[in-house]
Amino acid sequence: MRRHLASSTETFPIAGGFTISRGTKTEAVVVTCRITAGEYSGWGECVPYARYGESIESVLAEISDATSAIEAGASREDLRQIMRAGAARNAVDCALWDLEAKASGTPVWSTINAVPSAPLTTAYTISLGEPEAMAAQTARHSDRALLKVKVGTADDATRIRAVRAAAPESRIILDANEGWSGETLAYHLAICAEAGVSLIEQPLPAGRDQALAHLERIVPVCADESVHLAADLAALTDRYDAINIKLDKAGGMTEALDLRSQADRLGLKVMVGCMVGSSLAMAPAVLLAQGADFVDLDGPLLLARDRAPGLRYEDSLVFPPEANLWG
């Protein structure tokens, strides 16, 4: 049966702004893909990321260029040859997963996991700011089990200590977004160990992270910008202890499943993370994240409004998607 593909953009305001070392966002602009075959429609959402050379316009153009092949019946495996890894392929790949699940009556969880999906403890993100502002933000969420704290300045010690003092019981992931240098790395690692940080995400710029292989990692270090595909992993095992899998980086669930399997084979811990998007973008990631070591799928919690229907969040838990959302 011939398919029909349609793509569009949607904008979701962010509650209070979202700041990392590269700047501040006040809204999440996403691309939504819908693939229809007969009475069934599958949906996918992606978030273009300028760090990887993507824009709304470039992602829409990539989807448009692949539309004829997709409408003619290209499979998810075909997509890996037709489209480059990235946000555009993620939206299409996830829409195909959703379409297949609805047409077959077989939910995605039963295809990729041996047991039904369960609620997961997700991190909640604390934006980068002055130490006092970060401490105040942290204090409002100190009852959460897991916090992800944005840093990435020349001297983050005061920020790290302020956040830890404001949330003495929470586990903390620290995300430097490539903002540290080889000169400050050992110093910041020592501060993180002192503060009981559980994981440090991408402290050095991708491609300039060799220093991680030559010092004792007294706190586990996680690759984010340094890893996109399963083929990337073999070259990274000497400098990272974990990887952050994001569907928008990998180009969809199909590649992300291979990436997770390869990480398991290499003994790397796994985080499943996200860009700032709606529940439609998080839904497939919740299924991918079953059994992961760290889960960071709080995108909808950072929005002033989410799409409906959305994912169910209760305190630090995110619940698997209902079929009317995705999968």
Q: Catalytic residue among 102, 148, 246, 249, which?
A: 246
- Residues 6 or more apart in contact with residue 223 via CB below 8 angstroms: 202, 209, 236, 239, 240, 242, 243, 244
Q: How far apart are CA 18 and CA 148, in angstroms?
A: 13
Residue 59 near residue 235 (C-beta atoms within 8 A): no
Closest CA to 173 of 181, 165, 164, 182: 164
Residue 195 near residue 173 (C-beta atoms within 8 A): no
Place of tokens 């793509």: 7
Q: Hey, how many other C-beta atoms are within 10 angstroms of the C-beta on 305?
A: 11
SS3 151: coil
Q: Which helix (H) or strand (E) holds 13?
A: strand 4-20
Structure tokens given for 43: 């949906």
246 is catalytic: yes
Q: 3-state DSSP: the chain helix, strand, coil percent, rounded to 5? A: 40, 25, 40
Q: How far apart are CA 82 and CA 89, in angstroms?
A: 9
Task: At 260, give phi and psi (nearest 5°).
Answer: -65, -40
Q: Catalytic residue among 148, 150, 249, 269, which?
A: 150
Active site residues: 150, 246
